[in-house]
């Protein structure tokens, strides 16, 4: 018995199929181990990607974009998740002395529910391309608006945020975002 | 529609995840494994129900899960390879007192695990008394003693 216990069997024999007491398919078994190990690797990659922010909130996801003139800057998340709140920050300098009008296109409004806007706009104005928030002229040189957003639908979302009415072709930024289900 | 898709997504996600985790992961549950399962269930619940807490939604999700499970088990009995693929097959890990070390290693079981199962199920004392130890698809180890120890 002692010899049996110390016996180190050769791998070739271990990988051979047995029929009794159970019928084995060791080729399949080894394949499923390979799949299992690859699955672990995929899971590790997913966890690292999540830490890096590939699924929202992280350095891959956070982005800042400005229009060429620098009058409009938007800080946003590239990745969102359906139903999970997110924030977006828009900084705008007034074009003329009077108030600031920030226009959000229809694509944006279809994809996101705006839960709150701080500071509150004086009024909302709708048009065929979307809706605009109207703010009184800021105290300082520019106005920073925080939007609390809730993505409603999964998929690619491209939006355009514009300073001034669409007809005026003012400074605008294009946002390319993705909403996970 | 949404509720059914949610149920299907969660069902297949968990199916694949637990297959990849390997059969030994939750086979002999320690109290920690039990808590871990509860936490996984907790995390799943939100995604399963979304923000719809109506009874209708709960009914749809539960019925969808049960239907998927029935369809899946029917498919497994019709398509021979499917059950083998998703459940795995029994594998011999000890034969005639000799541990098959390569197999044990790949399956993440130690000889001590086999001896533990032998003590618990058959009251055996050493590996020489084991004729066959088989790792079952559910992760448990079944022991067939040598004839003189039956």
Q: Write down the pLDDT at residue A176.
A: 92
Q: How far is A40 from chain B (nearest CA, A)?
A: 7
Q: Write down the pLDDT at residue B30.
A: 81
Q: Is B22 in CB contact (< 8 Å) with chain A? A: yes
B1-36 in b/e form (b: 16+ CB < 10 A) is eebeebbeebbeeeeeeebbebbeebbeeeeeeeee
Say if residue A99 is in the same domain as residue A70. Answer: yes
Q: Which of B103, B127, B132 sits opposite A14 (nearest CB)?
A: B103
Say if residue A89 is in the same domain as residue A122. Answer: yes
- Does A8 reside within a domain? no
Question: Per the CB < 8 Å rule, is B92 touching A22?
Answer: yes
Mean pLDDT across the stretch B119-141?
91
Q: Is B102 in CB contact (< 8 Å) with chain A? A: yes
pLDDT 10s digits, B43-72 = 898 888 878 889 999 999 999 999 999 999
pLDDT 10s digits, A95-116 = 776 788 999 999 899 899 999 9
Structure tokens at A157: 């979302």
- Does A73 reside within a domain? yes
Mean pLDDT across the stretch B89-100?
92
Say if residue A90 is in the same domain as residue A112. Answer: yes
- Does A109 reside within a domain? yes
Say if residue A24 is in the same domain as residue A94. Answer: no
Say if residue A155 is in the same domain as residue A122. Answer: yes
Residue A4 pLDDT more than 70? no
> Comparing B26 with B55, which gets the higher pLDDT?
B55
- Does A57 reside within a domain? no
CA distance B128 to B142: 15
CA distance A38 to A23: 26
- Does A1 reside within a domain? no
CA distance B92 to A161: 65
Say if residue A114 is in the same domain as residue A152. Answer: yes
Say if residue A67 is in the same domain as residue A119. Answer: yes
Instruction: Identify the bridge partners of residue A86 per DSSP, sorted by sequence position.
Output: A149
- Does A2 reside within a domain? no
In 3D space, the residue among A64, A76, A139 whose CA is nearest the CA of residue A112 turns out to be A76
Contacts of B98 in chain A (CB under 8 A): 4-5, 7, 9
Question: Per the CB < 8 Å rule, is A18 touching B95?
Answer: yes
SS3 A34: helix
DSSP per residue, B58-94: HHHHHHHHHHHHHHHHHHHHHSHHHHHHHH---EEEE
Q: Write down the pLDDT at residue A5.
A: 45
- Whether the ω angle into residue A21 lies within 30 degrees of 0, i.e. cis, is yes
Mean pLDDT across the stretch B7-27?
83
Interface ipTM: 0.81
Contacts of A32 in chain B (CB under 8 A): 85, 88
Contacts of A36 in chain B (CB under 8 A): 19-20, 22
> Which of A3, A10, A13, A21 is best to mutate for the B interface (most B CBs within 10 A)?
A21
Q: How far is B13 from chain A (nearest CA, A)?
A: 12
Say if residue A34 is in the same domain as residue A92. Answer: no
- Does A164 reside within a domain? yes
Domain edge (last residue) among A34, A52, A70 = A52
The least confident of A84-98, B66-80, B131-145 is: A84-98
pLDDT 10s digits, A20-51 = 888 899 999 999 899 999 999 999 999 999 99
Cβ contacts of B115 within 8 Å, gap of 6 or more: B124, B126, B127
Question: Per the CB < 8 Å rule, is A29 touching B89?
Answer: yes
Say if residue A32 is in the same domain as residue A100. Answer: no
Say if residue A94 is in the same domain as residue A137. Answer: yes
User: How much of chain A exceeds pLDDT 90, in percent?
Assistant: 49
Give the total number of structural domains in chain A.
2
Around Cβ B98, how many Cβ atoms within 10 Å? 18
- Does A133 reside within a domain? yes
Cβ contacts of A149 within 8 Å, gap of 6 or more: A80, A85, A86, A87, A88, A112, A113, A114, A115
Q: Which residues 54-83 on chain B approach chain A with CB closer than 8 angstroms?
A: none
Around Cβ A150, how many Cβ atoms within 10 Å? 14
CATH number of the domain bearing residue A75: 2.60.40.680
Give the angle subtended at the CA of A119 by the CAs of A116 and A121, to the nearest 5°. 80
Residue A2 pLDDT more than 60? no
- Average pLDDT, rounded, for chain B: 88
Q: Write down the pLDDT at residue A8.
A: 55
Mean pLDDT across the stretch A58-78?
91
Q: Write down the pLDDT at residue B29.
A: 75
Say if residue A115 is in the same domain as residue A151. Answer: yes
Contacts of A83 in chain B (CB under 8 A): 50-51
Contacts of A22 in chain B (CB under 8 A): 89-92, 134
Say if residue A160 is in the same domain as residue A91. Answer: yes
Where in the sequence is the domain holding A154, given as residue range(s)? 62-180
A27-54 in b/e form (b: 16+ CB < 10 A) is eebeebeeebeebeeeeeeeeeeeeebb
């Amino acid at each position: 018995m002692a010899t049996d216990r110390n016996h180190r069997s050769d791998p070739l024999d271990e990988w051979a199929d047995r029929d009794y007491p159970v019928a084995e398919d060791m080729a399949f078994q080894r394949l499923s181990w390979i799949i299992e190990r690859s699955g672990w690797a995929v899971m590790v990659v997913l966890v690292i990607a999540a830490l890096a922010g590939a699924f929202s909130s992280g350095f891959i996801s956070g982005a800042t974009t400005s229009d060429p003139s620098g009058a409009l800057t938007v800080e946003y998340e590239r990745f969102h998740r359906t139903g999970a709140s997110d924030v977006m920050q828009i900084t705008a300098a007034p074009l003329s002395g009077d108030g600031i009008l920030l226009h959000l296109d229809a694509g944006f409004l279809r994809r996101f529910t705006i839960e709150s806007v701080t500071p509150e706009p004086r009024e909302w104005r709708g048009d065929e391309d979307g809706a605009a928030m109207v703010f009184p002229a800021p105290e300082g040189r520019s106005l920073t608006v925080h939007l609390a957003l809730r993505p409603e639908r999964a998929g690619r979302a491209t939006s355009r945020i514009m300073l001034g009415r669409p007809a005026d072709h003012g400074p605008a930024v294009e946002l390319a975002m993705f909403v996970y289900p | 529609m949404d509720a059914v898709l949610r149920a299907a997504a969660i069902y297949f996600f968990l199916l694949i995840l637990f297959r990849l985790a390997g059969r030994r992961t939750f086979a002999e549950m320690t109290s920690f494994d039990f808590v871990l399962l509860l936490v996984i269930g907790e995390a799943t619940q939100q995604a399963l129900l979304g923000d719809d807490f109506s009874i209708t939604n709960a009914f749809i999700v539960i019925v969808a899960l049960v239907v998927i499970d029935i369809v899946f088990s029917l498919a497994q009995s019709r398509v021979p390879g499917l059950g083998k693929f998703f459940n795995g097959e029994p594998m011999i890990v000890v034969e005639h007192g000799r541990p098959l070390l390569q197999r044990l290693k790949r399956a993440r079981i130690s000889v001590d695990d086999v001896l533990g199962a032998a003590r618990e199920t058959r009251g055996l004392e050493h590996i020489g008394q084991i004729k066959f130890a088989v790792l079952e698809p559910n992760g448990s180890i079944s022991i067939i003693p040598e004839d003189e120890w039956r």
